[in-house]
Structure 1
């Protein structure tokens, strides 16, 4: 958990917004918004397209935008982003530091699998991080320098015809009441507002637009008329990397749900079992206990298939006596878990399976002990390789006289992936952040060493061939003391795994 004096809250107290402003801002006057429109509003007594305190009081408390996250927290995020833009603007020097700086973040559109059949909608995480708003075809415009408390949200208009087919929309009044953003306008007015901002430096990620139609219609004309935009994503990701106490609570619940799903899926493993059955059981147990959906297509890999790192076909029989590797997680109101466990489907490790499993577990525990402020993921990765090299010699997979440098090379072959990654609103979260930077309190990472020995590897002892083991936990970096293991409820020791398998 973050300390009360964490960077998230330290600068925020003095940045609380002035709720009313005579006459509104220039943008709002330009599109005829009256000062009276800016008064706080109660949540409309109707469904807003997402849970609200009125329709889902069991999930969303008064003052929250999404479960567990308040209007104030979202407001502080926007203010911190504005301050980051200001800080980076000052570094650029004149003329970049002169004039207004405006950030634009687009929502995702609805995507279709075929004709008019949509995929389940999943919001752009950067837009969600700054607004909490879950509708497609929306946008956020944020002052980056002169008025760090100013934001405008653009949302789709209410449309009874479309709502008949797609469900209710929040509209301007619903979005304003739910998010706490005072200035909310229809998405069609986005281009008009941006056109009025001549001479403004735009902060916007144009290389991979989140919403191609909004980009083409509203953003592109502004880009063609002004200076090249500056990338906003690295600044948002630097904020997303440090989790608030409320975010950690949501991730703790995601970890708890998934850990329970592992326990109950293990209990279903009684001899020969289809990977698809384990997949279905894991999915069911996550959803029935509160997850919105799985965070990603899980790996359910029996036997030698565990040595295919991204095996997601999940359609073969795991035979009695084989191990199954399950890498899965859930999403819980915008935050995800990512856990891997490996277990014998007949409930009893063989001697060779247990020996390889214990080797990976020992390495994982050592890596977990390194998870503290100031240590980087790359440093933990280097340590993992050295530890795996020693285990390979101990297991007889490498000769006892193998040099340390050759053992490191072998470790890279037997574990071809990194020790972990950042975790949060996405599985491979904040990818713009280097894994060489020091970890900070509030960061959440995975620690997932593995050993993969293909059945055709004639260099390894025969009893290890065809075995693949990975053990992965979700870890919160804390200021002092041991890290917080969000996935601690998932059985991990040989004894606990065998006990869970015997509970069916």
Structure 2
């Protein structure tokens, strides 16, 4: 009887608390808003740190790139299903998010010189609300996302055809294109006349140079990833298992505010580190082997990406050290080349020359121009970074870098265990990756707080692994650099 009374009291309290929240003045729009998440967003922000005015400015800039009488159609990312009733975690398409600020699936945005900014929003049935919760509708499109006109998706077939027929060119997001508008007769006719093009060439131009608000989020994302990877490095000495290290870094990222990982962590122990996009993460790291961890997290739509390679046992072997030092020096020299006017291609070519020369001196390749090098490193020195890991992929690597662009610098060598060459180097994979912001005067390394020098790493692993806090980390940096 006492237990029943207690359970009744708890249930009543929970129900009362729930009713008190639901009947309040705040309205849930299916994503964080200043009214529902006052500690996360300030008034006038759609994304933490990014204001409504910035989103309006982005749309104006897109209009400036659109030819007269043309139309841009951007659809939200689709929901992808794991099984018949279980969806994969939803992630919004970067272009749609960049233009609208809306984090939810099912919508279509249309922008044109004559029509302005239209949003077609999904409708949530009573069943959907019960099972999935509230979503942003037509009211939110007008009030929150500041659409000039907003309609339900049911109205798209009535309204969009006339807009398409009145346009000379159509631009749309090919990767999220949906039948709702592609099956329209007007769209198909425009496509048959060659009037339809991808919109990414335009949106990537806008996304390439980051605003101060975007850079703030990118710096925070990089900081979270660095802290998480550092804690995982300490964890590796006691728990040298790929799956545990993967779980640890994801935990540390999310505990610091990241919404998700930017990609499945690469945790390659020993020869697994020579598999560039290794993702199984199911082996124990053998004593004396290196572990290569390539990780990144996403914070409010902006991602980080960094890699470190270290020996969980606490000491590099002489063979590991000579190859690691080559990668480290290449990383440092290539970072120095990051400045306005340089290009990723130029930096890449420099890295190839430096690594080929170093591999010849070590004895891994016979001559500095050997094609064998490209088997040991088939990757570029880096890529653009932003809302996507390989951001703005339509922008050439030959493009001169400008202030506000963020790139990665990630030299690496991947020697498989079946390598037909230097036996002592077989099964070693090493990559050192940093995020670099191009500034007016040169560069800023956004992941500079993450140790990469051999003495720093060994000192941290051997002296500061247990009960590691931020104060211990600061002290360890002084010790490691002394």
Assess same fold via TM > 0.5.
yes
Structure-1 separation of matches of 2:182 and 2:189: 14
Pairwise CA RMSD: 1.8
Task: Give the structure 1 partner of residue 185 of structure 2.
Answer: 221
Task: Give the structure 2 partner of residue 54 of structure 1.
Answer: 35
- Could you give the per-residue CA deviations for residues 285-338 of structure 1, whole angstroms, max 9, x where no partner exists? 111111101011111000011111111000011011110000110011100011
**Are positions 1:141 and 2:141 aligned together?**
no
Structure-1 separation of matches of 2:460 and 2:210: 32
* Structure with greater helix percent: 2
Q: Does the 8 A contact of 2:307 with 2:431 survive in 1?
A: yes
Q: 1:134 to 1:374 in 2, by over 3 A?
A: same
Task: Give the structure 1 partner of residue 58 of structure 2.
Answer: 77
- Could you give the per-residue CA deviations for residues 258-295 of structure 1, whole angstroms, max 9, x where no partner exists? 00011000001226721101111111111111110101
Structure-1 separation of matches of 2:175 and 2:293: 34
Q: Does the 8 A contact of 1:107 with 1:137 survive in 2?
A: yes
Q: Secondary structure at the match of 1:152?
A: strand
Structure-2 separation of matches of 1:451 and 1:110: 37
Q: Secondary structure at the match of 1:475?
A: strand
TM-score (norm 2): 0.87
Structure-1 separation of matches of 2:351 and 2:94: 31
CA deviation after TM superposition for structure 1 residue 480, in Å = 1.2
Task: Give the structure 1 partner of residue 156 of structure 2.
Answer: 190
Q: Secondary structure at the match of 1:203?
A: strand
Structure-2 separation of matches of 1:178 and 1:146: 22
Structure-2 separation of matches of 1:231 and 1:300: 35
**Number of aligned positions between the proteins:** 437
Q: How does 1:73-152 map to 2 (within 5 A)?
A: 73-85=54-66, 89=67, 100-143=69-112, 145-146=113-114, 150-152=116-118
Q: How does 1:445-484 map to 2 (within 5 A)?
A: 445-460=407-422, 462-481=423-442, 483-484=443-444
Q: 1:238 to 1:44 in 2, by over 3 A?
A: farther
Q: Does the 8 A contact of 2:291 with 2:310 survive in 1?
A: yes
Structure 1 runs of 4+ with >6 Å offset: none
CA deviation after TM superposition for structure 1 residue 172, in Å = 1.7
Q: Secondary structure at the match of 2:424?
A: helix
In structure 1, stretches of 5+ residues that fail to align are 1-42, 90-96
Structure-1 separation of matches of 2:137 and 2:438: 39
Q: Which has the higher contact order (CA 8 A, sep 6+)?
A: 1
Q: How does 1:139-288 map to 2 (within 5 A)?
A: 139-143=108-112, 145-146=113-114, 150-197=116-163, 198-205=165-172, 208-217=174-183, 220-226=184-190, 227=193, 228-270=195-237, 273-288=240-255
CA deviation after TM superposition for structure 1 residue 184, in Å = 2.1
- Could you give the per-residue CA deviations for residues 364-406 of structure 1, whole angstroms, max 9, x where no partner exists? 101101111111111111000000012112223235xx3x433
TM-score (norm 1): 0.83
Q: Does the 8 A contact of 1:304 with 1:455 survive in 2?
A: yes
